[in-house]
Amino acid sequence: MREDPTRYNPAEIEPRWQAKWDADPTLYAAEPHTSDKPKFYCLEMLPYPSGQLHIGHVRNYSIGDTLARYMRMRGYNVLHPMGWDAFGLPAENAALKNNTPPRQWTLNNIAQMKVQMRRLGFSYDWAGTEVTTCLPDYYRWNQWLFLKMVEQGLAYRKSSKVNWCPQCATVLANEQVISGYCWRHEDQLVEQRELEQWFLRITKYADELLDGLDQMPGWPEKVRTMQRNWIGRSEGAHVTFKVVDNDAAEITVFTTRIDTIFGATSVQLAPEHPLVKQFAALDHKLSLAVDEMVAQQKAAKESGDIGSIDKHGVATAHFAINPFNGEQLPIWVANYILADYGTGAIMSVPGHDERDFEFATKYHLPIRRVVTAADGEEPLPFIAEAGAFIINSGDYSDLTCAEAQHRLATHAEMNGFGKATTTYRLKDWGVSRQRYWGTPIPMVYCAEHGIVPVKEADLPVLLPEQVEITQEGGSPLAKVPEFLNTTCPVCGGPARRETDTMDTFVDSSWYFYRYTDAHNATKPFDSAKANYWFPIDQYIGGVEHAILHLIYSRFWTRVMRDLGLIENSEPVTRLFTQGMVIKDGAKMSKSKGNVVSPDVMIDKFGVDATRMYALFAAPPDRDLDWQEDGVAGISRFLARVYRVTTKFAPAVRALESSVRGDEVAAAEFASETPAELALLRTLHQTIAKITEDFSGRWHFNTCISAIMILVNEIIAAEPAMDSGAISVATTAELLRKLTLLLAPFAPFLAAELWQELGAEGSVFTQSWPVADAALARESEIEIPVQINGKLATVIKLPADSDEAAIKAASLADEKVAARLVGKTIVKHLVIKGKLVNLVIK
């Protein structure tokens, strides 16, 4: 039975085509940047080489490959690259566990995964584009770009509190801390340590990164919102308060509502505010209370509900002076004030802020009204809307809030105690990592000359191969004397190298530019090539990178633009975030034992069925519940396509060899029977539907269902094809176009069937079929007739029937007539080509 040659056998078909495709390394190469074809840069997020492709990758890459194949058939010059995000901690963990060097482990994994990806038939230009970020020919450009950033003042070193993951044994960027936990160890709380680190000045671009989001209609609103929140721009003012009887101390607060400053009745400091330390040193009771608050804030942060801790505070013995009216305000320390936002100090305006109101009520602090929208009677706290104005505020009374904000800030600035300011939640990107398997930071420490960049000519700073990886903290490179000890680029004297490596998000921040010129040995890439291909037309990946990779990439693009390497400011025109693949309603995980292996699926059902199921089971943006029975269903469908196509293939081949294609068309279209026209109608409706879906909606699940409908109709017509009632020419037309429609979704089967049908060339270099509107049009349509909005019957009419004809036909229907007996027609509504509704009484 298995030997039955008429039976669909992906295990035979797929490896045969794979071998053929692999033998031609230029098969999927894009044309050079001088091509006159329109370009299309189709990109999927590169994988980390864990060694095993998972089903989520299969989904991600199937979406991208389907699009890439389609766009090629539409005549675009398509760049479809792939690479490896190959630096990172797992390689070091594996080294510890298996005693395999990280490099070897990583390269082995890459080799394995590449076999899997080739097996899946993805149309990547491996030879032209493959980038492996852990190899010196790539990471030397990380170093080169880092040096450029040092030159521009965009990379700098400073000591500060940083996030430390004990499991990673390294520092993390803010973006890599998810609600207090490590992004790769979800149970690991992140600690704070004071360390000297390299930072990249992403905050320089904060405004541009934020404002750019408004001009990115091709990105999901969700991702843009997340980035907006992350950047967290807040426009307001700084105001500096002097402290009574303490000339050395002053408190600068940040407020977005300087217009309410006459309503301030206290000043609140974060427990970790520097001035609190000073006060507490002389006040034991305060000191104890503050320690408790610090501990409480820390605990709340860790349990993730810092938003809901009970507000409490403690008064200090000190007073601050409101610079606008000289009023003395008590200085408190409060547990709801965060040290790391704004200035860590606020003016408390309980009349017009909910938190301040809650606090003031609890501690019986005065509550004062300084804003109203009408009569000054609104219940407090009153949060002003547009149109409100200021009262009880001296010279500023009666101004609108906006006007008062402007005047107060200006007054503060002229008198040197404040000014309009913008704060951001976004902090500079800490890129130092105390790990081995990453890009060495190309800097040298000289006793004489301080921190000195490595000379460009001396790049790359190679990562040494023989390194002992241990669990204990500290940079592994610091224990490699051959690496550590070097000479100063300025004086040639003894010096030591920076032993931290770069965050691996540096690698992925610009890899897609390298794809455009992956083998360039003298530059990161040729600008002319990058400028031709960029921005990326379509980027496809998981939403989990919304504020990591995707914000770093936007930053890096601007840096490279300002260095003159590229012209674009944004890397990606359209972003698509696909949903997760889940199993039995839950995220796949080893601990739940619900992991689906792509290899097992392919062994059982073949690549085409596996890929197609990944596209069929849900729209690509939604989560997809993997059901093996569903893959089996797709496999049966493909088997039907194979059977019917191969059955008629000999007749089609014979026809093709006797008549030229266009003559067939000319001869045929004169004399089709109604049965043939009906089939051609479905064919052209299917072409139209799929073509439209590719232009934006991407609901490949409904594309595939449309193909199934077409196939079901072809199979239903099989007896007529057998008998000759449907001509071989029509059959040929149907099967050839069907094969073209299948090509982006089931490439192996399409390649096989295209050959079976005796057509010339590769199915993938054919033009995408064009829907013929005339053929797609229905000659006869069914019109539902409703009575009082409920379906009464369905009538059949010629498609071009006018309103009068539809009206008459609806009344002529006997079911309708029966229902009309003894009733009055109140309204007879006809929607041409759609429906009839009779309102009767």
If the CB atoms of residues 230 and 534 are measured against RNA, the closer one turns out to be 230
Q: Where are the alpha helices (DSSP H) in 659-802?
A: 661-668, 674-692, 700-716, 718-723, 728-742, 747-756, 773-776
Residue 761 CB, shortest distance to RNA, in Å, is 30
**Close Cβ partners of 305 (under 8 Å, ≥ 6 residues apart):** none
Query: Strands of 450-453's sheet, edge to edge?
Result: 450-453, 443-446, 494-497, 485-487
What single string gives the DSSP state of each residue in 138-152? HHHHHHHHHHHHHHT
Residue 668 CB, shortest distance to RNA, in Å, is 26
If the CB atoms of residues 497 and 545 are measured against RNA, the closer one turns out to be 545
Residue 783 CB, shortest distance to RNA, in Å, is 8
**CA distances, 771 to each of 74, 373, 515, 692, 768 (Å):** 13, 61, 35, 10, 10
Residue 380 CB, shortest distance to RNA, in Å, is 16
**CA distances, 120 to each of 41, 46, 610 (Å):** 21, 16, 9
Positive or negative CA dihedral for 180, 186, 191, 197?
A: negative
If the CB atoms of residues 523 and 834 are measured against RNA, the closer one turns out to be 834
Alpha-carbon Rg of the chain, whole angstroms?
Answer: 34
If the CB atoms of residues 389 and 626 are measured against RNA, the closer one turns out to be 626
Residue 245 CB, shortest distance to RNA, in Å, is 26
If the CB atoms of residues 348 and 504 are measured against RNA, the closer one turns out to be 348
Closest CA to 206 of 172, 175, 231: 231
Residue 687 CB, shortest distance to RNA, in Å, is 12
If the CB atoms of residues 59 and 435 are measured against RNA, the closer one turns out to be 59
If the CB atoms of residues 252 and 755 are measured against RNA, the closer one turns out to be 252
If the CB atoms of residues 236 and 476 are measured against RNA, the closer one turns out to be 236
Taking the C-alpha atoms of residue 613 and residue 507, their distance in angstroms, rounded to an integer, is 33
Closest CA to 274 of 226, 211, 219, 340: 340
Angle at 198 between CA 194 and CA 204, to 5 degrees: 110
Taking the C-alpha atoms of residue 19 and residue 29, their distance in angstroms, rounded to an integer, is 17
Residue 368 CB, shortest distance to RNA, in Å, is 15
Distance of CA 638 to the CA centre of its chain: 32
Q: Where are the alpha helices (DSSP H) in 232-382?
A: 274-281, 284-303, 354-363
**CA distances, 445 to each of 442, 449, 741 (Å):** 10, 8, 62
If the CB atoms of residues 425 and 653 are measured against RNA, the closer one turns out to be 425
Whether the CB-CB separation of 709 and 655 falls below 8 Å is answered with no
Residue 805 CB, shortest distance to RNA, in Å, is 18
Whether the CB-CB separation of 433 and 501 falls below 8 Å is answered with yes
Residue 205 CB, shortest distance to RNA, in Å, is 19
Query: Given the DSSP bridges, would you call strands 313-321 and 328-334 parallel, antiparallel or unpaired?
Result: antiparallel
Taking the C-alpha atoms of residue 696 and residue 709, their distance in angstroms, rounded to an integer, is 22
Residue 1 CB, shortest distance to RNA, in Å, is 7
If the CB atoms of residues 400 and 701 are measured against RNA, the closer one turns out to be 701
Residue 528 CB, shortest distance to RNA, in Å, is 38
Closest CA to 83 of 32, 141, 134, 33: 134
Residue 49 CB, shortest distance to RNA, in Å, is 25
Residue 828 CB, shortest distance to RNA, in Å, is 10
If the CB atoms of residues 484 and 548 are measured against RNA, the closer one turns out to be 548
Instruction: Please list the residues that pair with 443 across neighbouring strands.
Output: 453
Q: Which two tokens stand for residue 518?
A: 């992956």
If the CB atoms of residues 567 and 803 are measured against RNA, the closer one turns out to be 803
Residue 231 CB, shortest distance to RNA, in Å, is 10
User: Within 10 Å of residue 680's Cβ, how many Cβ atoms?
Assistant: 20
Question: What's the number of CA atoms in the CB half-sphere (13 Å) around residue 79?
Answer: 28
Whether the CB-CB separation of 748 and 121 falls below 8 Å is answered with yes
If the CB atoms of residues 151 and 310 are measured against RNA, the closer one turns out to be 310
If the CB atoms of residues 496 and 643 are measured against RNA, the closer one turns out to be 643
Q: What are phi and psi of 240, to 5 degrees?
A: -100, 125
**Close Cβ partners of 159 (under 8 Å, ≥ 6 residues apart):** 194, 195, 196, 197
With 0-12 CB in 10 A as exposed, 13-18 as middle and 19+ as buried, what is 743?
Answer: buried
If the CB atoms of residues 560 and 690 are measured against RNA, the closer one turns out to be 690
Residue 331 CB, shortest distance to RNA, in Å, is 15
